[in-house]
């Protein structure tokens, strides 16, 4: 039986777990059966050592208490995850900070637990978000100064240093333009440079809008982050908080919108990844297993597809994408 005693903080609760005698018996038996698979005693074949003798050996080696407490914790977490009301109200438990045994019969524990709060997905309208300070397409036109600076840079690259260390600098004219590609004169080159500079500005604006949108999304959900997730990298606290919050938010939106990659997409990305690594052995130097690599790929696909969904729903990049198509037809 589980009982929430109190909520200590946005990410911490005190929970009571009462174990029935039947649960205790099952846990003890499982510990002993698992241990019997590796226990050897004179006169017994592997796997046939009497369970009571295994218990005595574990007690003598100071192993029983630790194994038993670990089994109790696992059972508690299993019960927590099997009760939707707990996860819906609070979230996933990520750390058991402290355990107190309050009674022996029935065996009762009080567990101080750290949990990751659920994303309040139904209370936030993530399809009507609008960022501020957007640059319009008209504001991204290349100035004459930018075109001139780009031409000077091209001129510098085409300069030749002679054996006598003098530098031959080409004149910026129609002949210079034709030497750079399929341009009939300097005027046509300048037009192409204007379009190229504008295109670069648009791509920069896309990244800027995406960053601002992500910050807005994180602010809208106002999600608390468990302190233990920040312990390993205190110097990077701000970035870790942002990354962890975004991951939880994206997962929640993907789940609600039923965003999941197809088997074909997963297979294709796995094949690409394996070609890049070269061999399964190379994969295991980075990931514990091929399954871990696949999980990472699936999450990456979900993340990318969910961001595209949000960009489309909020018309975040529509004007920029339309302008990119126009320019790319000309270049």
Distance CA 173, CA 206 (A): 34
Task: Please tell me the predicted confidence (pLDDT) of residue 309.
Answer: 96
Query: 112: part of which helix (H) or strand (E)?
Result: strand 107-117
Distance CA 32, CA 63 (A): 12
Question: 202: helix, coil or strand?
Answer: helix
Q: What is the 3-state secondary structure (H, E, C) of 229-253?
A: HHCCCHHHHHHHHHHHHHHHHHHHH
End-to-end CA distance of the chain: give it in Å, rounded.
69
* Closest C-alpha among 279, 277, 273, 275 to residue 295: 273
Q: Do the beta carbons of residue 218 and residue 246 sit within 8 Å?
A: yes
Q: How many residues does the chain have?
A: 331
Query: 25: part of which helix (H) or strand (E)?
Result: helix 21-36
Which domains, ranges and CATH numbers included, belong to the chain?
2-118 (3.30.70.1050), 121-222 (no CATH)
How would DSSP label each residue in 296-312? HHHHHHHHHHHHHHHHH
Q: Do the beta carbons of residue 107 and residue 16 sit within 8 Å?
A: no
| pLDDT tens by residue, the chain, 331 residues | 899 999 999 999 999 999 999 999 999 999 999 999 999 888 888 888 999 999 999 999 999 999 999 999 999 999 998 887 787 788 899 999 999 999 998 999 999 999 999 898 887 888 888 998 899 999 999 999 999 999 999 999 999 999 988 999 999 999 999 999 999 999 999 999 999 999 999 999 999 999 999 999 999 988 899 988 888 666 788 888 999 999 999 999 999 999 999 999 999 999 999 999 998 889 999 999 999 999 999 999 999 999 999 999 999 999 999 999 999 887 7
Q: What is the pTM of this model?
A: 0.78
- Radius of gyration (C-alpha) of the chain in whole angstroms: 31
Query: 99: part of which helix (H) or strand (E)?
Result: strand 91-104
């Amino acid at each position: 039986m589980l009982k929430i005693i109190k909520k200590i903080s946005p990410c911490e609760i005190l929970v009571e777990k009462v174990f029935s005698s039947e649960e205790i018996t099952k846990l003890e038996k499982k510990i002993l059966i698992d241990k019997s698979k590796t226990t050897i005693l004179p006169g017994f074949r592997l796997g046939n050592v009497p369970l009571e003798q295994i218990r005595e050996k574990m007690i003598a080696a100071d192993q029983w208490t630790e194994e038993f407490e670990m089994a109790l914790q696992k059972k508690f977490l299993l019960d927590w995850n099997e009760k939707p009301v707990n996860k819906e109200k609070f979230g996933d438990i990520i750390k058991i900070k402290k355990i107190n045994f309050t009674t022996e019969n029935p065996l009762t524990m009080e567990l101080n637990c750290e949990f990751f709060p659920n994303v309040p997905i139904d209370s936030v309208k993530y399809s009507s978000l609008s960022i501020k300070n957007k640059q319009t397409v008209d504001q991204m036109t290349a100035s004459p100064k930018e075109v001139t600076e780009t031409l000077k840079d091209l001129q510098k690259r085409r300069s030749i240093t002679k054996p006598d260390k003098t530098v031959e600098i080409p004149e910026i004219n129609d002949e210079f333009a034709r030497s750079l590609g399929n341009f009939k004169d300097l005027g046509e080159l300048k037009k192409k440079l204007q379009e190229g500079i504008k295109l670069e500005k648009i791509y920069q604006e896309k990244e800027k809008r995406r960053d601002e949108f992500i910050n807005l999304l994180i602010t809208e959900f106002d999600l608390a982050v468990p302190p233990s997730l920040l312990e390993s990298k205190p110097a990077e606290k701000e970035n870790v908080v942002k990354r962890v919050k975004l991951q939880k938010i994206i997962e929640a939106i993907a789940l609600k919108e039923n965003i999941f990659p197809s088997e074909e997409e997963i297979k294709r990305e796995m094949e690409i990844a394996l070609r890049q690594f070269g061999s399964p052995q190379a994969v295991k130097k980075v990931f514990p297993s091929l399954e871990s690599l696949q999980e990472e790929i699936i999450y990456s696909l979900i993340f990318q597809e969910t961001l595209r969904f949000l960009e489309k729903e909020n018309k975040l990049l529509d004007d920029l994408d339309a302008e990119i198509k126009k320019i790319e037809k000309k270049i």
